[in-house]
Amino acid sequence: MAIKGGPLFEVTASAYRNGVIDKGMALFGDAVDGVMKETGCEMDDLVNKMDEASEKTVMRMDALLAWSGPMIRIAASDRLMALTSRLLDVAILRRLGVAVLTRMLVKAVTA
């Protein structure tokens, strides 16, 4: 019988099994490159921005994570991850994903 880890681990494991992590890492890298190009920031600037996150922001994220248990369990579904993986094979969706992620990160960095 497969051993179950914690909910976040299960999401990660499912994403890995279905190829979402490999595809997602490349998209994430492109998005970070995009942020660096758009904002003129280097990696250390981005890390330092993250380091400067306010307590209010962090606590909001903590609350979000605390309340997202059911969503995390759904996200850990192999079917959903397999679908996500297939969607990430579509070039236009990949480009869209990078654009959205870049926009979100730029907003966070320049806030």
Partner 1 sequence: MMSPEVELAITDEAYRELEEAVDPENVSREPAVLDSYAWQPFANDNPERWVIRPVAVAMPGSTEEVQALVKAIGRNGLKFKAFSTGWGAYSSPTSEGVVQVDLRRMDRIIDIDEKNMYAVLEPYVCGAQLQAEGMKVGLNTHIIGAGPSCSILASATSAFGVGWDCVYMSYSGRNLLGAEWVLPDGEVLRLGSLGSGKGWFCGDGPGPSLRGIVRGSTGALSGLGIFTKAAIKLYNWPGPPQIKTEGLLLDARSEVPENLRFCMCFWPDRKSQDEAIYKINESELCYIFSRTGLGATISIATPHLMKILTKTKAIRKAVTGDMKWGCTLIMVADSAGEMAYKEGVLAEIAKQYGGAVINLTEAKPIIRMFLMNFLRSTAVPVVFRMGGQMFTALDRNDTWDTQMDWAGMGEKVKQKWIDRGGILDDMADNPYMVSYEDNTWGHCEEIFQYDPRNPDHLAALEPIFVEFSLEAVERCMEPLSSTDARLRKIISPMMGHYTSWQQKISGFFDRDRAADTGMYCDEVDFDLQKVEPDIRDRFEKAIKKFSWTDDGPPE
Q: Is 16 in the site for partner 1 (CB under 8 A)?
A: yes
Q: Is 40 in the site for partner 1 (CB under 8 A)?
A: no
Please, which residue, 16 or 95, has the CB nearer to partner 1?
A: 16
Q: Is 7 in the site for partner 1 (CB under 8 A)?
A: yes
The long-range contacts involving 32-39, CB below 8 angstroms and separated by at least 24 positions, are: 32/105, 34/98, 34/99, 34/102, 34/105, 34/106, 35/102, 35/105, 35/106, 35/109, 38/102, 38/106, 39/106, 39/109, 39/110
49-88: contacts with partner 1 (CB under 8 A): 50-53, 55, 58-59, 61-63, 65-66
Contact positions toward partner 1, by CB under 8 A? Answer: 2-9, 12-13, 15-17, 21-22, 25-26, 28-30, 32-33, 36, 42-44, 47-48, 50-53, 55, 58-59, 61-63, 65-66
